[in-house]
Structure 1
């Protein structure tokens, strides 16, 4: 048997309701080539798993979830996808919480890079959707926010493939979930983008893995010393230090830009601070124009380059387009960061007011943490000293709500999908970006909570 240096576990959570046929077909027809491409670029041992999900009865009388645990054989994954039917669905929300729970219960390998590709065009129950048959949330009592926190502790990064435009009203919610796990939200405006998301997302995650132990040691050292640990500050320090070393990583981009994250939206960022889904529900019950006034006004001080417009959001944070904040052109003035691009010649005064607001918010961090080298002065822990990432129990198949499907028609997914045109995903080799640094620190923090 061939020996690999890296291990990769990819689990798919696939919405199998009527609107998702084209995405099922794209995954089915390309899964073997996807695995081939990943192995060609990284020479890793790849396993695949699939969780199909629809909804609870009476919204859907077929099944809630169907789980297929990990396999090394891409052809087996393809058979599972051939057996998927895109049908039913009932109301707009689907069994999102149940699908996340099934992902958590898969037999993940402790030492593998772990990714969940969550493909959806609908919200979970309980977000105030019109005609929601379960307005109180998941009828099984599952909390998607708490489950995502458990996924993060297990080292599983969630990549949400959000099928737009139908998902746009709930984009902030999914931005928050992906931030918690250190994953990414990827807008799916065309079906064939799914292939690139899976391939390039996996390659990016594998390239980031080499920094995990370094970040864990920094975070652990601060916890041992009893210091207040500021996620954004540590991410800045890590970003600058690794950029100075000149190490390159793979990066998933859309139209030559980084993907939007929870840092792009005050609303999404605020959702990441909430402890339970019930808190999020309270906010979503309010009219959209009142939501921001009802949540804590967070200071978003990370000037990363993923500040793309979030569809339908008027509170999106943006930087002057002439700035290149992710190029690591920052200088240290004590513990204060300021961009050299924002200084006028011969002076230390900031020119752009938006940049000035961003930089000024870092002043309060002065003296809280030392530079990166000092963060690592405590004894380096061995791997046995770090929290385990194992969450492996065998996948559990939920019982069907009915012995047979009712009103299920033949899926249009059997047709060969056509190639759409639209926003394009690509993989680039670049310095570690600030947003990637934020994701690494976020993952480490979740492990130590």
Structure 2
């Protein structure tokens, strides 16, 4: 048993470096910030091969894990995404539809979450081993998947360890439609209700999601907090306020950086871009670059690749994934940022904060009700599309192109100052301070 008297955090998360999924940046920053604030941190996560084989990996992220953080990796099986036919059973080969139905049923026997439910048993066992070897003062479990909450609940029930539920999205709320994903009497709803009742804190990425849950769980409302994603200060792109403006009508680089999911209005953007080139000589002389993964997994979705390739004559290109260490370089090469997001009152995206840090113009290509608008409102170089029609998107693109040529150092500095409030540590520190005080009160 360690003699180190610093409080011990067990951080339970499925997607940790080298995972390249969007939520990994929040996970990495949270673990690092607890360590910087004087905590000993143990991360419980999946094996590296999970991400290399299924989601795609960004090895550059591993070097950003703070020194001293212990990372405990346990196996995670994902049969539904297994593409190696040699690993398929004969039954699956001969009856794939029946196999999928049976697998979904099996997945939810121990925990009500398709694909992830079977991870509960090894996850809980690993969490208990860690606690017995080196007592844990606090658990922070970061979803999704929501099965990570099971480890937190187990240590609380058996050993009285306080825990935080950190949501990137939501368990019961469909953040895109605003409807419910699970009925009130479902196993998922019952499990969340029980976990919510005992949690020391519950974190959400934006106010709309938090308010939805406050209405659903009024007894827990006071313990619910908004912890926005923010941006990482050490990765702020070098976009100085006195950056030279573009030439009127000159070539500009418009760029999107992030995962393009099936819900992202890629086709609408491409139509709006084509229309903007018809309306503006400046846009017609410019190019649009899509950086990131096409889809959730390692292999790009073919229909997305085809759509971008078809827009090649309009100077649109797919430039592939970007390692975290190269993000600043990408932003430094842009004149205008493209924030292309799915619809949904509860959708923010972590990228919006990174975009804000640059001080560059931002063109929003998403539904006006998207929660990202709440973050961007007041930004001096924000150009939201009025709607997702070709003309609505084109108008925003043309306005941003004109702004590049006219925005002087003062306006660019105002834009950077606007974004500075969303630095990641400013979002996390108030909660870490409160939790440090909580642990001091309950630890003998």
The TM-score, its normalising length taken from structure 2, stands at 0.31
- Which structure has the highest helix share of the two? 2
The TM-score, its normalising length taken from structure 1, stands at 0.30
The higher-RCO structure (CA 8 Å, 6+ apart) is 1
